[in-house]
Amino acid sequence: MTQQLAVNDLDIIRARDSALAVFGSLDTKRPTAWNQYGYRTTLSFDDFKQAYDRGGAAHGAVHRLLDGCWQMLPRIKQPKADKETAWETAVAQVLRSIRGWQKLRDLDRRNLVGRYAALIYRMADSQPLSAPLVSAQKLVDLIPVFEDQIKVTKWDEDKNSVRYGLPETFQYRARATGRLDTQGRPDTWEDVHHTRVQILAEGSVGDMFDGIPLLRAGFNNLIDIEKLSGGGAESALKNSARTIVFKYDPNASVAAISTTNPDGSISTKSVREVHEEQTRSLNRNQDASIVLQGGDATTLQTTAADLSPQFGIAANLFAASVRIPFTILFGQQTGRLASDEDKADFGARCASRQANDLTPMLEEFVRRMQACDVIAAGDFEIEWPPVNAPSDRDKLENLGKATAAMQQAFQAGLTEPLFDANELRAMVGFEPRADDGMPEEGDPEPEDPAADPDADPKGTGQAAS
């Protein structure tokens, strides 16, 4: 009997431990730590969307990365083509006619908020969205939608199909959720065939549900930032608001107070009612005053703690989670700009994302437009402008360093210059000249002015007499 009780007690302990574990924590000694800290154990798209809509740090992180990657539009070009070809012009016209670049950029914005986002093709092919996309006269529109605006309604269950286990049919919601003022806009779910839907799920290598939201890793730190900023603002408000403390002499009779009404009648109010009226009037009006008999009134003040260290920890952890340097994401209150190392690090982050996430997305879009005859077939490539392209000031500094290096090399005995004129012009973005100013084989040797007694040694324009 005792052994049976011991087994039952052990089962109860395990059940309690498993029940506590659902609250979440990285510290096994404190399995309910996240619950005590106010962190959510499971996160949904609504949580990420709310943080993006109402949180300055989350909103800033999404748009810092978005603006860094899309600060200049890429070029969809034919391989090894230096100048714009007719094919490239036609592709640009397809995108320009429907503001395609802005909508592709907005697809990326929505992808950063949730696990994935979708792009719906509206084509001029006389077919409903639920029909397969085969061929079309032109691309009519691109519709970027959030994660909660699209869902899978049918999967490919044919084990012999190359698309086995992939979505067959989607439904998308025309109106985004969370909008209060819709002005009567219809809210319907519409069936869409998978050939008319493009999914962008950053961090996933196939399954759209494996996408990694940008804000997920640092979501706990966003909660800390909200607590610190909100709690600090609340404490400052309570200190600035005049919370009155009334003190009365022990012998004072303050059970009730008689007041005269505007019509001359006498009314009796409790001390609490009178003091609440006086306090409300004092806080609403600058010229208000109070009258006491046998008592004293003071304001309640508390010492507000300096929350800068705690905020700095939370902000740095969040910046690390989104892989954006702190000085780039939050700036500096002291006026110090982001260092060159921070700029280079963030530039490398954006360039890597362009190559590994955005380029495949654009390649898929072009290939699918080629498949339905909207864009002519042919090889192509995506070329992004340099993220950390030097400014005009940087170019001039580089030119100065190059010419200084040329002078030092000449003084050291190097007979040939390090750079020709066109290479120097290229450093500042100037077009090359046909004559780069460099001597070529067969050119006559320059005459030595010292060998001609009639030469003008000082360059005055007059020959020596």
Q: How many CB atoms lie within 10 A of CB 430?
A: 13
pLDDT band at 2 (very low <50, low <70, confident <90, very high): very low
pLDDT digits (tens, 9 = 90+) for 234-273: 788 777 766 777 777 666 666 566 667 777 777 777 777 7
Give me the mean pLDDT over the 377-399 stretch. Answer: 84
Tokens of 346: 């963030």
Range with the poorest average pLDDT among 82-86, 310-314, 328-332, 445-449: 445-449
Question: Per-residue pLDDT for 126 more than 70?
Answer: yes
Query: Greater confidence, 139 or 394?
Result: 139
Question: Per-residue pLDDT for 66 more than 90?
Answer: yes
Give me the mean pLDDT over the 191-195 stretch. Answer: 95
Averaged pLDDT score across all residues of the chain: 82
Model pLDDT, residue 465? 43
> In terms of DSSP bridges, do strands 197-200 and 244-248 run parallel, antiparallel, or are they unpaired?
unpaired
C-alpha distances out from residue 66 to 148, 201, 216, 289, Å: 20, 15, 17, 55
Question: Per-residue pLDDT for 414 more than 50?
Answer: yes
Model pLDDT, residue 454? 57
The candidate with the shortest Cα–Cα distance to 277, out of 260, 289, 287, 286, is 289
Query: Greater confidence, 106 or 309?
Result: 106
- Report the C-alpha gap between 331 and 317 in whole angstroms: 15
Give me the mean pLDDT over the 341-365 stretch. Answer: 93
* Planar angle of CA 410, 412, 416, nearest 5 degrees: 35
Question: Per-residue pLDDT for 447 more than 70?
Answer: no
338: left (phi over 0), alpha (psi -120 to 50) or beta: beta
SS3 of 314, please? helix
Give me the mean pLDDT over the 288-304 stretch. Answer: 69
Rounded to 5 degrees, φ, ψ at 152 are: -85, 130
- Report the C-alpha gap between 300 and 9 in whole angstroms: 52
- Report the C-alpha gap between 109 and 145 in whole angstroms: 10
How would you class 268 by CB atoms within 10 Å of its CB: exposed for 0-12, middle for 13-18, buried for 19 or more?
Answer: exposed
The candidate with the shortest Cα–Cα distance to 74, out of 345, 343, 386, 374, is 386
Question: Per-residue pLDDT for 332 more than 90?
Answer: no
- Report the C-alpha gap between 272 and 308 in whole angstroms: 39
Q: Percent of the chain beyond pLDDT 70?
A: 78
Question: Per-residue pLDDT for 392 more than 80?
Answer: no
- Report the C-alpha gap between 121 and 140 in whole angstroms: 8
> Under 8 Å CB-to-CB from 86, ≥6 apart: which residues?
none
Give me the mean pLDDT over the 95-114 stretch. Answer: 96
Model pLDDT, residue 333? 58
pLDDT digits (tens, 9 = 90+) for 7-64: 456 565 555 555 544 567 888 888 888 888 889 889 999 999 999 999 999 999 999 9
Sign for the CA dihedral angle at 426, 430, 433, 438 comes to negative
Sign for the CA dihedral angle at 153, 146, 352, 92 comes to positive
Query: Greater confidence, 58 or 406?
Result: 58
Rounded to 5 degrees, φ, ψ at 14 are: -65, -40
> In terms of DSSP bridges, do strands 244-248 and 256-260 run parallel, antiparallel, or are they unpaired?
unpaired
Q: How many CB atoms lie within 10 A of CB 104?
A: 22
Tokens of 370: 């080629």
Q: Which amino acid is at 95?
A: L
Distance from chain centroid for Cα 401: 36
Model pLDDT, residue 21? 47
The candidate with the shortest Cα–Cα distance to 226, out of 40, 62, 42, 65, is 40
